[in-house]
Structure 1
Amino acid sequence: PVRGHSNVQGDRTMGIWEKPKEWLLESLDKEFGIESPRHHGYDAVEAMEAFERNEVDVFVSMGGNFSLACSDTETLEAGMQRIGLTVHISTKPNRSHVVHGRTSLILPTLGRTDKDDKHSKGAQFLSVEDSMSVVHSTQGRLQPVSDHLLAEPVIVARMAEATFGPDHPVDWKAMAEDYDVVRDHISRVLPGFEDFNTRVRTKNGFVLPNPPRDTRSFKTDIGRGRFTVSPLEYLSPPKGHLVLQTIRSHDQYNTTFYGLDDRYRGISGGRRVILVHPEDLAELGFQDRDLVDVVSTFRGQDRQADKFRLVAYPTAKGCAAAYFPEANALVHKENVARESNTPGFKAMFVRFEPHTGQAALAVEQASLEAATVV
């Protein structure tokens, strides 16, 4: 089953969730001789709200670009700066590194394509799960830019040892030196990973269990699969507003852009654009290529993102689209899905206002042209 792109899928398989199940916590306790915390953590939106309430002392980001990936950018960034210590374990610089707490650390780390061979046990490899639930090994081949770069498992293990002390029952040093030790622990904690180290070394890896596929069984109280039905919700934006969704370009992977073009939609040379149906443009009193400020409204509160270019595009009438994460500032923190608490990146009411700096921009452009002629 496809549950999203593969690193998210593999994370959840490993139990990475702010609300871990009791069976997983009990399994961890038994394996390591510890007592795992039972209180739940925060999801992304809950974390943002906790920042505002000054309830977070330390924020550690394992990769990612939290400031840009989350909703309500201005609110989030103000909250990030309330934190005592922010730590980013990263392979390259990003926006989140410059929106930080009172003290901030950036810990460079090896990327997946880098060699990881500075261990007493020799070169190490990692394992990944693809979108078809196949687990296989991956090993970097490139020479790291510095001999001082550490791999993520090593950084995490050293942080843990420094936090809990040398007498902690978890074998942090052993796991940092030999990733087989990590996989052995996983094999005893998580169902489906028995004999992990042997199976992951086979040519094509191994496929995780899937009861409906393997045995035509379902782990429900009735032993059968259950279908859920969600009622359709028809959105009715206020007069003069459109329903905006965020999208991604061809040259984009999450918050990383590899170029400013989007071959999917014929956009080139820029990302700060709003795709709007031509009839909507006319009805709203705008033209193709107008420069506008975009204002979203949610429960009587506005959010604004300036200087977007309107582009006539055959999207559905009444709807518009803008790129993630440029449009994230328009998503109010309380605009979330009812059950998942996921930000409403796909549905917000927006209106357009002529860009307030347009006249100044025209004067500036004329001055530049005059200077060029001279």
Structure 2
Amino acid sequence: MANRVSFKPYAGPAGGWGSARSLGNILARENVLASGALLLTRHNKVDGFQCVGCAWVKPAQPLPFEFCENGAKTVAWEITNHRCTPEFFAEHTVTELLGWDDYHLERPGRLTHPMRYDAASDRYVPVSWGSAIEEIARELRASRARDPKRAVFYSSGRCSNEASYLYGLFARLYGNNNLPDSSNLCHETTSVALPASIGQAIGSVSLADFAKADCFLFFGQNPGSNSPRMLHPLQEASERGAAIITYNPLRERGLERFTNPQSPTEMLTRRDTPISSQYHQVKTGGDLAALTAICKAVVEIDDAAARDGGAPVLDRAFIAAHTHGFDEFLAWLRRQDWAELERRAGLPRQAMEATAAVYARATATIGIYGMGLTQHRAGVETVQMLVNLLLMRGNIGRGGAGICPVRGHSNVQGQRTMGVTEKPELVPLDRLAQQYGFEPPRDEGYASVDACEAIIAGEVDCFIELGGNFVRAVPDRSVIEPAWRRLRLTVNAITKLNRTALIPGEISYILPVLGRIETDRQGTGIQSVSMEDTSGCIHGSRGMRTPASPHLISEIRLVAELGKRVLEPNPRVPWDAWSNDYRLIRAAIGETFPETFHDYDRRMWEPGGFQRVLPACKREWHTPTGRANFITPGALDEDPDMPGDEPDILRMMTLRSNDQFNTTVFGYDDRFRGIKGTRDVLLMNRTDIDRLNLEPGGMVRVETVANDGVRRELAGLTVVPYDVPIGCVGAYYPEANILLPLWHYAVGSKTPAAKSIPVRVHRMEAGSALARTTQGRPAHAMQADAQGA
């Protein structure tokens, strides 16, 4: 088995035969080779099911196979024929299971029965749905009597719009806005930055804009692993000569070369398409400086054009008619020093000037970004600087141009639209009050970081998790896990076992729910649900597979059953009718949000879905100034917690492999980075390896540099030489979350700043690589791995 672990640079493109083999492997591993392949033909189709992976756009005219490698993996993972039954829990204590890694916790398959934790035996034992719901309701009622704010209602992006709407309503009828969700951990920065800049919380581009743009600016986004279907329009853009300029610390293969797996010619000839025309490896935490430098260079090109009698570069007519704050921003730009910008960005001046030169000639530019911008202390200002750059040339509110945040979870945006948010100002509370005859709470609730702080402080009794793996996803695991055990009630409504479910409070439940791909049959027949993609389009989704167990219930029914038992009867809140006929929920949503969700039940089946109202696309700016705002940052320091230029302190970013989706790990290989058989690695520049007297393949211990009295370290990582900027290192999420302080988050949004953690790396004595790579794997899995080596 030791031979399985290898580190060899990957020379191939994204897509191609590697993707095809990976898909075949996981379909076979989950024992769904034939049925899974057939089901994938309905993936992201108009009358099929919405992807359970990322939130990339569902097109009106889909490809024959409208899925990517990772999307297909999430499908196979959900429709697996493996089952996690009561017999499994009888064989393993919770203490034993806590020693397993993320992959092997989910490997037993779909959960089949509701389970309650039994502290005496340290096992989960089966329980009836009736007794489970009744006890959970009793605890929620008791906590509500004490203080409604002592319960937290978390959800992940897997929830449908219908389930999200009921969940948000339930929380507000309960008496709080404690509705943290997975967007708090990734794109909350977007939800704070964009409203201040352009008056809406989501992007301003559609899939049609990709076909019209002649310039794409990528910052901190890796489509090859996180949204591979985006590579199809990018390939088309590259082939027609559009500029694709990338700023990212790592050279990600999906932004370098792509072979389309749906093209027989490309597959047979192994032809690939170059994607990025420029690729700049910005220093981790250097995006704000790099964007500032590009803006400054654009101004200098405009100055030169004015001096030489050339055509202006700045769109001064647009700036005058539609923006506010430009003069202040321009004066600030002129004061910035090029040497300082180069130092902070980790790039030469010529690199940023080359980007500005292309941008100045482009007629329509799309700015695309991901968590490489949002997960920094100054993430809000960095996103706003990208908007500033686009505004300078009028690249928002016209065809082929705009801002494009790429959401990572399939309906994380939709659930926010439906009211799953801690911010009461984002929800039409007056309308809800009139519609349902109650006074909604008006005070701000807990976001994810707030919820963690409240749990640590002992201010939370009950935590209900509608999907997700909260404890594994949040920072400071060594602090959170002990506090989590002190909760009175924890409820995990999930499809597969995960680490959060294995950290019980006084009373803990695992409640198995239907997956999105499964048939949802209720009193009025088979039901459909809906989701919102990253462009703000709403789509219908039909489950098509027999449920994994007859003991599963839908998330909608679960919320409705709790609503009936926890809350006072309200004739305006028909829990039973809603859970039997989801069309009635959509009618209620249309009443709450009439501007967008009128005629909801019909429009969600339109090819391409129906578009949310996005004012900025029409150059209507719903901001306090009534205009799009140039926002000048307070400083250029993207990470004010980062110590000075001490040579032994490195900037660590957390990474995802192409064999995972969020906290779900599909395997131990990261094909694009040439890592096979392990996730226990630290990617380092060879210069830093030599400078710190380390060795490639050697074992190291990583510790966080933070003067807060908390020891944070991760030991047993293998040093892998990699093409990262000097002074920067990378480690996999969620394993490296233990190094991220809870307080280290984006100012304004509280998104954990996982992309720039100050760390020191210490050499460890030579040990057994085999021992490290098998850590966290159950004995039967190690035997299977050894046999397959």
**TM value normalised by structure 2:** 0.44
User: Who is 2:762 aligned against?
Assistant: 353
Quote the residue 2:696 is aligned against: 288
1:134 to 537, 540, 559: 537
Q: Secondary structure at the match of 2:525?
A: coil
**Inter-CA distance 315–20: structure 2 relative to 1 (3 Å threshold):** same
- Identify the match of residue 337 of structure 1 among 723, 727, 746: 746
2:737 equivalent in structure 1: 328
Which residue of 1 is the match for residue 436 of structure 2?
32
What amino acid is aligned across from residue 352 of structure 1 in structure 2? V
Deviation at 1:205, TM superposition (A): 2.2
* Per-residue deviation, 1:212: 2.2
Q: Which residue of 2 is the match for residue 156 of structure 1?
A: 559
1:91 and 1:229 map into 2 onto residues whose CA distance is 45
- The code of the aligned residue for 1:246 comes to T
CA contact (8 A) 2:705 2:758 kept: yes
One-letter identity of the residue aligned with 2:740:
V
Summarize the alignment of residues 1-374 of structure 1 with structure 2, pairs less than 5 Å apart: 1=203, 2-3=404-405, 4-5=407-408, 6-21=410-425, 24-117=428-521, 119-167=522-570, 169-190=572-593, 191-213=595-617, 215-230=618-633, 231-233=635-637, 235=642, 236-301=644-709, 302-355=711-764, 358=766, 361=768
Q: What is the CA–CA distance in structure 1 between the aligned matches of 2:486 and 2:494, rounded to whole Å?
A: 21
Shift of 1:31: 1.3
CA distance in 2, matches of 1:349, 1:168: 55
Report the residue type matching 1:283 in the other structure: R
2:658 & 2:446 partners in 1: Cα distance?
31
Match of 2:259 in 1: none
Shift of 1:64: 0.4
- Of 43-52 and 319-328, the range deviating more from structure 2: 43-52
Tell me how far 1:168 sits from its aligned partner.
5.8
2:45 is matched with which residue? none
Secondary structure, counterpart of 1:232 in structure 2: coil
* Range with greater deviation from structure 2 (28-37 or 235-244): 235-244
CA 1:364/1:97 → structure 2, altered by over 3 Å: closer, same or farther? closer
In structure 2, how many angstroms separate the alpha carbons of the residues matched to 1:275 and 1:22?
A: 40
Listed one character per residue, the Cα deviations across residues 245-271 of structure 1 (whole Å, up to 9, x for unaligned) are 101111111000112111221111111
Distance 1:164 1:362 in 2: 55
Q: CA deviation at 1:69?
A: 0.5
CA deviations on 1:95-153 (whole Å, 9 max, x unpaired) are: 11101211101100000010001x12100001011112111100111101222210110
The 8 Å contact of residues 10 and 130 in structure 1, kept in 2 or not, is answered as yes
How far does the alpha carbon of each residue in 1:273-305 deviate from its partner, in whole angstroms, 9 at most, with x for none?
Answer: 110000101111101011111111113543111
Deviations 1:309-329 (A, max 9, x none): 111111000000111101000
Moved more, 127-136 or 160-169: 160-169
CA contact (8 A) 2:519 2:544 kept: yes
**Residue type of the partner of 2:657?**
S
What code does the residue aligned with 2:759 have?
A: V
State the one-letter code of the partner of 2:732: Y
In the alignment, the residues of structure 2 paired with residue 222 and residue 100 of structure 1 have an alpha-carbon distance, to the nearest angstrom, of 49
The answer (yes or no) to whether the contact 2:660–2:667 under 8 Å persists in 1 is: yes
SS of the counterpart of 2:584?
helix
Alignment-mate amino acid for residue 760 of structure 2: R
Residue deviations 1:139-172 (CA, integer Å, cap 9, x gap): 1111012222101101011011110144464111
Task: Provide the rounded CA distance (Å) in 2 between the counterparts of 1:22 and 1:65.
Answer: 25
Partner SS for 1:298:
coil
Deviates more, 1:313-322 or 1:2-11: 2-11
Distance 1:22 1:260, change over 3 A: closer
1:183-211 deviation per Cα after TM superposition (whole angstroms, max 9, x unaligned): 11111112311121121133432111111
Structure 1 CA distance for aligned equivalents of residues 574 and 552 of structure 2: 22
How many angstroms apart in 1 are the aligned matches of 2:651 and 2:570? 56
Aligned-partner Cα distance in 2 for 1:26–1:133: 24
Higher helix share: 2
Q: Secondary structure at the match of 1:21?
A: helix
For 2:665 and 2:673, the matched residues in 1 are separated by 16
Q: Which residue identity lines up with residue 57 of structure 1 in the other structure?
A: D
**Cα distance in 1 between the residues matched to 2:632 and 2:659:** 35
Cα deviation for residue 22 of structure 1 reads 6.7
The answer on whether the counterparts of 1:281 and 1:287 sit within 8 Å (CA) in structure 2 is yes
For residue 354 of structure 1, report the CA deviation from its aligned partner. Answer: 2.9
Q: SS of the residue aligned with 1:77?
A: helix
Alpha carbons of structure 1 residues 341 and 264: separation in structure 2 relative to 1, 3 Å: same
The change in CA–CA distance for 1:229 and 1:100 in structure 2 (over 3 A counts) is farther
State the shift of 1:239 in Å: 3.7
Q: Which amino acid aligns with 1:265?
A: R
Letter in 1 for 2:629: R
Distance in 1 between the 2:645 and 2:514 partners?
A: 47
Corresponding residue for residue 371 of structure 1: none
Take 1:347 and 1:338, find their aligned partners in 2: how far apart are those partners?
Answer: 14
SS at match of 1:30: helix
Amino acid at match of 1:19: K
Deviations 1:305-361 (A, max 9, x none): 1211111111000000111101000011121121111112011111122336x55x4
Residues 321, 121 of structure 1: CA spacing in aligned structure 2 closer, same or farther, 3 A cutoff? same
User: How many Å separate the matches in 2 of 1:289 and 1:198?
Assistant: 58
Provide the C-alpha distance between the structure 1 equivalents of 2:669 and 2:737, rounded to a whole number of angstroms: 19
What code does the residue aligned with 2:562 have? M
Aligned partners of 1:242 and 1:349 also within 8 Å: yes
Q: How many residues align?
A: 361
Q: Which amino acid aligns with 2:470?
A: F
% same residue: 36
Distance across 1 between alignment mates of 2:770 and 2:420? 53
Higher relative contact order (CA 8 A, sep 6+): 2
Aligned partners of 1:331 and 1:345 also within 8 Å: yes
Q: What TM-score results when the alignment is normalised by the length of structure 1?
A: 0.91
Structure 1's unaligned 5+ residue stretches are: 366-374
Deviation at 1:18, TM superposition (A): 0.9
Gaps in structure 2 of 5+ consecutive residues: 1-202, 204-403, 773-789
Task: Report the counterpart of residue 368 of structure 1 in structure 2.
Answer: none
Measure, in 2, the Cα distance between the counterparts of 1:313 and 1:203.
43
The amino acid across from 1:286 in the alignment is: L
RMSD of aligned residue pairs (Cα, Å): 2.0
The residue identity in structure 2 corresponding to 1:59 is F
For structure 1, which segment, 218-227 or 44-53, has the greater mean C-alpha deviation from structure 2 after superposition? 218-227
Q: Is the 8 A contact 2:530 2:604 kept in 1?
A: yes
